[in-house]
Amino acid sequence: MFFKREISSKFESKGLYAPLEELVEQKKYLPYIKQRHNNITSDQTGDIRSAFKGRGMEFEEVRLYGFGDDVRDIDWRVTARHGNTYTKVFSEEKDREVYVVLDLSPYMVFGTKKELKSVAASKLAAMLGWQSVINKDRFGLLLYDGVVTRLFKAQNNQKSLMSILKNISQTSKNILYKYATEYDEANILDPLKYLQYSIKSRAVVFVISDFKNTTDDAYKALVTLSKKCKVYCINVYDYIEEVPPESGEYSAQYGRDELKFDTSPLEFKEVYFQYFAKKRKVIECFCKKFGCQYVGIRTDKPLYKQLKIFG
């Protein structure tokens, strides 16, 4: 059986799971991602401005407003008290924590072109991990397989990252044995709840999932996280979840249930397209409303070209 033999070559995975070699390879794509340089070159901050550090700064002092200062940083209370315009000064937070919530539940074991959603999600997590190491941020991961959440605490070294990548690779292989019908209640609430109560403020959280089985409680946990952290919702979806299948008769199976359908009618194509577009719109609108950043990733396109979070 294919799933029982050891697969050592990256070319033998056929997009069904994420070999460690492919996760390590994601490092080579970082130069293609837009980055901004930082004038600070201390050991803590690194030579490249972290892609995960926006205006998330620590308060340092208040001083007189000067030409070129951001008007959003004006301290209106001090200004009113003294009669002159004062601005808040912030220093960039050092040793920032970056966490990825990686959804590798059986629902992510789906794909029609190039690779499964679980494989694309694993590669994205690896890419974020390598970016963190380069930026000298502390990188951690919450790995969810549909039942168990495994926590890898944020650390700022390559040895820790390699351990994380090995676990991602093994989990992406293990879930091939599992079936989504056995995990109908699976959702990313548990890892989100953990972060909600334990993560530091001003950390950065990347949630990588297809968000198909996201409950109201999971959305509430995301809202809570967004109030103290910078949250990215990376929505991984397959080609066929955006483009209706070609005209013809098809059969689909879910567990023991089998469905046959004809995709030729124009009405079917329109309903099909709207169904998946509406699901993506839900998470997009949620992100817009609560200050999260939405990133859509289609599995058959180059991942690094779609990861528009750097720079």
pLDDT, block means (10 residues), the chain with 311 residues: 37 81 95 52 37 52 78 87 84 75 93 94 97 92 94 94 98 85 76 85 91 91 92 95 90 79 90 92 95 94 84 43
pLDDT at 34: 53
pLDDT at 166: 98
pLDDT at 108: 93
What the block records as the tokens of 33 is 């991602």
Q: What is the pTM of this model?
A: 0.78
**Contact predicate 140/99, CB 8 Å:** yes
CA angle 170–214–52, rounded 5-degree value: 70
**Terminal Cα-to-Cα distance of the chain (whole angstroms):** 45
Neighbour-count burial of 150, counting CB atoms closer than 10 A to its CB (0-12 exposed, 13-18 middle, 19+ buried): middle
Q: 276: how many CB neighbours lie within 10 A of its CB? A: 16
Neighbour-count burial of 253, counting CB atoms closer than 10 A to its CB (0-12 exposed, 13-18 middle, 19+ buried): exposed
Using CA atoms, how far apart are residues 201 and 228, in angstroms rounded to an integer? 5
